Amino acid sequence: MKIKEIIKTIRNNFLYKTLCASFFSLIVTFVFAVYNAYLGIKYADAFAIGISIYYTFLIWIKFATLVVEKKITQKDDEVKTNIRIKNYKISSIFIFVIDFCLIAPIILMVVQPKEVGFGITPAIVMAAYSVYKIIFAIINYKRSKKSQNPTIILLRQINIIEAIVSILILQHTLIMVNGGMDESMRILSLVTSIAFIGLIVVFSILSFWKNRKLLKAKEHRS
């Protein structure tokens, strides 16, 4: 496929545009996960390592979804719909499970005996990533909120979760830049972190509940 044809397809096909944007987002998230792993190893920060593992799971889900879309390109619409719905259900359950995995790095952050102090560079990186994820999630949500494609719905949910988690990571990084954890910061971090996890879990449940009727109707039609 020539470059002009690819550009034309991206402009005219919303699903293809979403997949391309998601692939770019996947690469950015992968780099961010590696960077968190680096920070975790360098500063012995259990939270950063835990977040890196969490993002690895999200990357795997998004990558698997892109692979599924690639494999069903030549199949008829009925088969595509059934495969997309199955992938959505499996991925939603997996997302719900790993949402609770966020509890692990938060506990490690709170009980971590070693004081960790980051430089200013990680704060800039985290802030830039957080802004990017929030803007990307908002734009994607506005453009795709009326879509009934299970793949687009799934990718939209992952983008929103990534944006919420990026705020949690930014909070942790700013605390580390400003001298690390004291007792008051531990309590504040614990409370806000639990609130973020609760928000993510509730969002995951409501999203699946909201879309289950749509997916069920699509199954019956196919």
What is the greatest pairwise CA distance in the chain?
59
Q: Does 5 map to a domain?
A: no
User: Is 3 inside any structural domain?
Assistant: no
- Contact yes or no for 37/49 (Cβ under 8 A): yes
Which band of pLDDT confidence, cut at 50, 70 and 90, is reported for residue 125?
confident
DSSP per-residue string spanning 57-120:
HHHHHHHHHHHHHHHTTTS-HHHHHHHHHHHHHHHHHHHHHHHHHTHHHHHHHHH--S-----H
Q: What is the mean pLDDT of the chain?
A: 81
In a domain, 122, yes or no: yes
Nearest to 72 by CA among 156, 159, 150, 153: 150
Q: Is the pLDDT of residue 23 over 70?
A: yes
pLDDT at 30 over 90: yes
* pLDDT range class, residue 101, cuts 50, 70, 90: confident
Decide: 118 and 43 in contact? Cβ < 8 Å.
yes
What are the helix and strand counts (H, E) for the chain? 8, 0
| Domain-embedded: residue 4 | no
Residue 9 lies in a domain: no
In a domain, 98, yes or no: yes
pLDDT for res 60: 93
* Closest C-alpha among 99, 209, 217 to residue 158: 99
Task: Quick: pLDDT tens for 34-87.
Answer: 998 998 888 888 888 888 998 999 999 999 999 998 888 888 888 888 888 889
In a domain, 7, yes or no: no
pLDDT in tens, 138-160: 888 888 777 888 888 888 889 99
- Cα 204 from Cα 187, distance rounded (Å): 26
Local confidence band at 181 (pLDDT 50, 70, 90 cut-offs): low
pLDDT over threshold 80, residue 98: yes
Sign of CA dihedral 167, 171, 173, 174: positive
Of 55-64, 85-94, 189-198, the range with the lowest mean pLDDT is 189-198
Domains: count for the chain: 1
Residue 220 has pLDDT above 60, yes or no: no
- Percentage of the chain lying above the pLDDT 90 cut: 15
Distances in Å between the Cα of 104 and the Cα atoms of 5, 16, 99, 107, 213 are 47, 36, 10, 5, 33
The region of weakest confidence among 28-42, 49-63, 127-141, 204-218 is 204-218
Average pLDDT of the residues in 6-16: 67
pLDDT for the residue 207? 82
Predicted TM-score of the model (pTM): 0.83
Q: Which domain holds residue 86?
A: 14-221
Q: Is residue 8 part of a domain?
A: no
d(CA 37, CA 29): 12
Range of weakest confidence among 15-19, 178-182, 191-195: 178-182
Is 72 strand, coil or helix? coil
